[in-house]
Structure 1
């Protein structure tokens, strides 16, 4: 059976299809974008800073950020690659090695989709020692019970570099692989002489240990050994943890790497643009300044400092508009 349609009928159908298309586009535009941030252990610095950023940048229902605890830098990079996370915090050295397929990622292939959202703040290398262990130098770690942090963490990578810089092999120490809060508990119980932690100061695990654990020292990472490490690894910088950062602990010279927020090239440009725009909003600025000591160091002016990997196009667009990008 044939059906004849009048011009009015065709016009109605055309209007209906057009309206459906508009509604479909609006629905897509209004679909929430979920953006997960891999952070670190709950006793470190990544986790609270990630929570502050997620809460401040989220703009539901269009944009929802969540901060998730994780095993740290390397684990976050791997989760971004697998699609388990949209983004994560990582040390600048780990990001560079992942992108170039060198260092820790030697033989595993280049992670060429890794992209920078922002450089955040310097991460200081803490070598925490029990006062009773009488450790005055990295060389004194020989034969001691030392936690190098858990597998998959950037701290473990850097701890091995530090040991090698002072002429020690991992087998020269009685190595353990614990999260910072676990290491602090073990030291408090007398079962550990020292542990490494890389992160922004102050960190809660060390703060609580210094207050209740019978006294701790921070071991200096300075001198010709540190100079040689900085010459070999350009992502390290000289740093100092001020006196009083932890109870009854003097100022100490150390090394630091940049904490960076990274993502995948596969994340849409529009989503990343809104995330980065939100990161540098007045609302987030106020939350960072009030919420954590390291928050004050997260500055738009240094957002591209130490970028060893390409910047995501969505972030690049924001930085160009802000006059910060050379591109």
Structure 2
């Protein structure tokens, strides 16, 4: 999802601004935040929980990173995907089984670890294949793993395609588990439901969501950030034609990025856009 959204945004910025924008494939949120902080990338997508860790130097980050938020883009759903006939009914049932917890340096693996901790498990309690979403889908289809974690917009196209040929379901994450995760992690997680019909599953399934942010470095030029946001919002409909998650971009909600501070250029853009 990050790659597709980023590709469309880069194309729009290149077309409308006097700059050339290129995209890079990364491992996910942790990798993106490190690249942005190091000046290796101008913008990046990151889960809100991982970004919150980055600004205080906790979790995967040994020291605070000079990260600022540009926009809250959309909410991501935690998917724990299993075959429909799997005996896995809860997080604790994953113990001892071959599972993909997401690629290394990804926000997916961060969330998986926190859910395990809240359940009394650790990542070491499963046989972690550490695959990205595409490889996880293939591995589940081929029977090489029994479950995989993914954190992304609803619906995720690759999982939709998987469900067309392989009956699947989602393992529920209950409100009590989510409350335990929130106790030590900035309260960024929310209870939500996969709507009935999602991925061919004809019932509501409770899960956890986390906001997704577009982030930049604190040192990024104010005017360029404001220009990038102008392109982002004006291109919303066009990008949504390729990436459905772009439909959820909302200027009224985009400012809510706590505990990650907005970049000064972003603050200027949002104030000016109300005039």
Asked if Structure 1 and Structure 2 have the same fold, meaning a TM-score greater than 0.5 normalized by the shorter chain, the answer is yes
Other-structure match for 1:292 = 243
The higher relative CO (CA closer than 8 Å, separation ≥ 6) is in 2
Aligned match of 1:97 in 53, 62, 65?
53
Alpha-carbon distance in structure 2 between the residues aligned to 1:249 and 1:89 = 31
Please report the TM-score for the alignment, with normalisation by the length of structure 1.
0.79
Cα distance 1:256–1:248, how it changes in 2: closer, same or farther (>3 A)?
closer
Residue 145 of structure 1 contacts residue 194 of structure 1 at CA under 8 Å; is this kept in 2?
A: yes
Displacement of 1:61: 6.0
Q: Which runs of 5+ in 2 are unaligned?
A: none
Aligned match of 2:140 in 144, 168, 187?
187
SS in 1 for 2:23: strand
Alpha-carbon distance in structure 1 between the residues aligned to 2:106 and 2:59 = 14
Displacement of 1:172: 1.9
Other-structure match for 1:71 = 27
Other-structure match for 1:49 = 5
Number of equivalenced pairs: 274
Please give the per-residue CA displacement for 1:31-59, whole angstroms capped at 9, x wherever unaligned: xxxxxxxxxxxxxx212222232233333
Please give the per-residue CA displacement for 1:132-173, whole angstroms capped at 9, x wherever unaligned: 432111111122111111111000000011111111122221
Q: Which runs of 5+ in 1 are unaligned?
A: 1-44
Divergent runs of 4+, >6 A: none
SS in 1 for 2:10: helix
The structure with the larger Rg is 1
2:44 is aligned with 1:110: no
Residue 119 of structure 1 contacts residue 307 of structure 1 at CA under 8 Å; is this kept in 2?
A: no
Alignment of structure 1 residues 193-232 onto 2, 5 Å: 193-213=146-166, 215-232=167-184
Other-structure match for 2:269 = 318
SS in 1 for 2:199: coil
RMSD: 1.8
SS in 1 for 2:32: helix
Displacement of 1:263: 0.5
